Structure 1
Amino acid sequence: MELPYSEPYKIKVTEAIRTSTRAERETWIREAKYNLFKVRSEQVTIDLLTDSGTGSMSDRQWAAMMTGDESYAGASSYFRLKQVIENIFGMPYFLPTHQGRAAENVIFSALLKEGDIVPGNSHFDTTKGHIEFRRCSAPDCTIDAAADTQLEIPFKGEMDLNKLEKIFKENPREKIPCTVLTITNNTAGGQPVSMKNIRETAELCRRYRIPLLIDSARFAENAYFIKTREAGYADKTIKEIVREIYQYADIMTISAKKDGVVNMGGFVAMRSEELMRQAMQFSIMCEGYLTYGGMSGRDLDALAVGLDENTEFEQLDARIRQVKLLGDLLDEYGIPYQRPAGGHAIFLDAKKILTHVPKEQFIAQTLAVELYLEAGVRGVEIGSILADRDPVTHENRYPKLELLRLAIPRRVYTDNHIRVIAAACRNIFERREQITSGYRITFETPILRHFTVELEKI
């Protein structure tokens, strides 16, 4: 018989998990004002809040940390990471930062001015936050198909080139400092972008002389989907595909806590030395000196190894198979989610599950709380709370999709944990008709409110 699949790694260290009671969870979530960000980690059984910085590092990464050079300036760890970035992405200039939103802060400080327009394919929360904080706008140019969660197409996170060109035509060139292409498209459900769409987006940007910035948090997973779904790439390595992707980019930002599989780190990289010089001052002011930029030497070395390891097919395959397993189980139970299964997470379609909860009562957040109460599983709302208020009208924005993201950390949970998550979702789905009300906001900040929002049950 053919041998079954097994993971390309073995486990060296484990961490104990405490299983709580529903009564305890009811108390804890009430004390947290129904915001799962405010729940303590020891009060969570299976933590799917994010895959950012929560993955399990390899033995090679832990070994590399011991060689970390903590020199304030000119550390050898910096130059080892610089070489890896040049090899993998082909970017000659880079500034390390402590994480992705810091990279956005550095580059947008150099590029943006009030009133600018930064189009993209579903900017993620911090990206949109940095843009709107500077009193700029972030129009969404994602293809319409992304809003239909039950539609199965291979590249559902793509840029709609007609929408993008319409913005280019209707606005002066100097008002559009860059276009942001996010791979994979997190807000649309971890959906990938094809090489064809990346290339055509770049060609359109160059025709209008607008730099293309690739938001690269899950670049390796996007390359995996290009290899497995796009004609002409099956025989190419992940590293070859990544190198081709970035030949189309002028700038890249990355939260390396995802596909770099480190607990902390990120960077901004670019082809222009002039732009790098403009961004340097903001890196020094906000992050640290140019050769460490908010990261310790040991983190720089761990990232160099992580980028190299996670651009190999076997590691990506094991990770994406586990996400697909959760999707397959949800299919078996008839539970709707953004299809096909994404690269880093399953996004439950809260609108289709909780059909009796009004949109004003935050449908996806209601589902998130229910899942925590059911089994101590912590996910995150990708819906109306995350969408914030319109910066002009101050009215709540209600996006087409109300999703509950269940992000699977890399090499952390077993397939049995995945089965527990699916069973908990099934229990909620079977009693969904009894869930008829949600929550109202009692406190919120003007921007990025979902991190600190406080709610009360209606």
Structure 2
Amino acid sequence: MDLPFAENYKIKMVEPIYQSTRKQREKWIDEAHYNLFNLRSDQVFIDLLTDSGTGAMSDRQWGALMTGDESYAGSSSFHHLKDKVKEIFGFDYFLPVHQGRAAENVLFSVLVKEGQVVPGNSHFDTTKGHIEFRKAKAIDCTIDEAFDTNGGHPFKGNIDIEKLTNVLESHTKEQIPLIIVTLTCNSSGGQPVSMKNIKQIRAAADQYGIPVIFDSARFAENAWFIQNREEGYANKSIREIVAEMYQYADGMTMSSKKDGIVNIGGILAMRNENWYKQAMVFNIMYEGFNTYGGMAGRDMNALAVGLDEVTNGDYLENRIRQVHYLGNQLIDAGIPVQKPLGGHAVFVDAKSFLPRIPKEEYVAQTLAIELYLEAGVRGVEVGTLLADRDPETKQNRYPKLEFLRLAIPRRTYTNNHMDVVATGLMNIFERRNSIQSGFQIVEEAPIMRHFTVKLKQK
């Protein structure tokens, strides 16, 4: 008999979490105006709000913290990280920033101007927010298969080359500052982009003279899917696949709080020296001096180790197996999720789960609140609230997909915790037809409203 799979690490430290009563949770969510972001962390039993900055660092990373160089300028920790970025991604020019949205802010301050368009694959909230804040427009060119949650396309993060070409042909070169490719594509369900598609995007970009930028928050998970799903890559290492992927990029932004397995930090890297010189100015204005850029030396050290760990060994197998452990339980119970399962989260199809809730009443948010009340589990809405209002018409944008995202922190929870999440959703699924109304907005911000929105029950 073959031995069963087991994680290739052991637990050295534990943190207590509190299992509350439903009555307590009803009070807390009401006080939070039905916005899960407003809950205190000690009011949550299992926190799947995000996988960003919530993972557990390794002993090597904790050791690296202790040797961080906190010099204001020229820190050795900066050079350790710079060398690791060059080694893994191949970029000569690198700026540290405090997180991914900061990298977007700095880069887009250089490249994106009013009236321009930025094509890509299902831009995530901060990416779209930074584009629209500059009075430019994000154009989604994701393949149609991404919106069929039951379809088995292995790379639902792919960009439709015909859609992309239509954008490139219908606008001048000056109107398109960049093409952005999100690896993996969060908004479409944590779905990967194939190497074939990356090459096609590069070819189209070269034809029209447009730069390509990778949003690299989950670059290693994307490489794992290429290794496991794309012909010709099964015998290549993650490092080799990553190196090949980034040959086709002119630059990268990265929230290191995901595949860097750190609590804070980000990367902006590029090949173009002129971009770099302009970005340095904005980095100093917004982040800090260019050799720390919003990061402490200790965090740069931990990130350098994290990038090494995420691209070597069995880490990715452990990580993605746990996500799929939860997802497969839900599939077996008949709960609708985005298939095939992605890398960092399970995305529950809220419209199919709660068909009686009108789209105007925020279906995915309604399901997220139900799961919190049922089991003390905090997920996050990836749907109409996140889609925001159209900046011109001020009307709600209703995306094709309404997801409850259950983002799994790295090396943080056991499969017993996943069992609690699955059971909670199963209990709601059994009584789903009794849930017939959702929520309405009481107060919202003009952009990226989902972080601070206040709601009330219909």
Structure-1 residue corresponding to 2:110: 110
CA contact (8 A) 1:237 1:313 kept: no
Deviation for aligned residue 1:152: 1.1
Find the aligned partners of 2:394 and 2:205 in 1 and give their Cα distance: 32
Match of 1:419, as an amino acid? D
Gapped runs of 5+ residues in structure 1? Answer: none
Match of 2:397, as an amino acid? R
The secondary structure found in structure 1 opposite 2:446 is coil
Task: Write the deviation string for residues 48-72 of structure 1: whole angstroms up to 9, x where unpaired.
Answer: 0000000000000000011100000
The secondary structure found in structure 2 opposite 1:62 is helix
Match of 2:289, as an amino acid? Y
- Are 1:356 and 2:376 matched, yes or no? no
Structure-1 residue corresponding to 2:226: 226
Task: Write the deviation string for residues 233-265 of structure 1: whole angstroms up to 9, x where unpaired.
Answer: 111110110000000000100000000000000
Structure-1 residue corresponding to 2:303: 303
Q: Which runs of 4+ in 1 moved over 4 A?
A: none
Gapped runs of 5+ residues in structure 2? Answer: none
Task: Write the deviation string for residues 250-303 of structure 1: whole angstroms up to 9, x where unpaired.
Answer: 010000000000000001100011110011100000000000000000000000
- Are 1:237 and 2:233 matched, yes or no? no
Match of 1:39, as an amino acid? L
Task: Write the deviation string for residues 93-149 of structure 1: whole angstroms up to 9, x where unpaired.
Answer: 011000000000000000011111101000010000000000000010000010110
Task: Write the deviation string for residues 352-411 of structure 1: whole angstroms up to 9, x where unpaired.
Answer: 000100000000000000000000000000000000000000000000000000000000
CA contact (8 A) 1:49 1:379 kept: yes
Q: What is the 5 A alignment of 1:163-242?
A: 163-242=163-242
Deviation for aligned residue 1:328: 1.0
Quote the sequence identity (%): 63
The secondary structure found in structure 1 opposite 2:119 is coil
- Are 1:44 and 2:44 matched, yes or no? yes
Q: What is the 5 A alignment of 1:123-134?
A: 123-134=123-134
Structure-1 residue corresponding to 2:136: 136
Deviation for aligned residue 1:331: 1.4
The secondary structure found in structure 2 opposite 1:244 is helix
Structure-2 residue corresponding to 1:251: 251
Deviation for aligned residue 1:426: 0.2
Structure-1 residue corresponding to 2:419: 419
Deviation for aligned residue 1:153: 1.5
The secondary structure found in structure 2 opposite 1:67 is coil
The secondary structure found in structure 1 opposite 2:268 is strand
Match of 1:408, as an amino acid? I
CA contact (8 A) 1:238 1:313 kept: no
Find the aligned partners of 1:193 and 1:353 in 2 and give their Cα distance: 27
Task: Write the deviation string for residues 14-36 of structure 1: whole angstroms up to 9, x where unpaired.
Answer: 01111000000000000000000
Structure-2 residue corresponding to 1:273: 273
Task: Write the deviation string for residues 309-358 of structure 1: whole angstroms up to 9, x where unpaired.
Answer: 01124100000000000111011111000001110000000000001000
Structure-2 residue corresponding to 1:318: 318
Structure-2 residue corresponding to 1:328: 328
Match of 2:452, as an amino acid? T
Find the aligned partners of 2:13 and 2:52 in 1 and give their Cα distance: 20
TM-score, normalised to structure 2, is: 1.00
The secondary structure found in structure 2 opposite 1:385 is helix
Structure-1 residue corresponding to 2:17: 17
Deviation for aligned residue 1:196: 0.3
Match of 1:360, as an amino acid? E
Find the aligned partners of 1:126 and 1:265 in 2 and give their Cα distance: 16
Find the aligned partners of 1:315 and 1:213 in 2 and give their Cα distance: 26
Structure-2 residue corresponding to 1:284: 284
Count of aligned residue pairs for this structure pair: 458
Find the aligned partners of 1:390 and 1:153 in 2 and give their Cα distance: 30
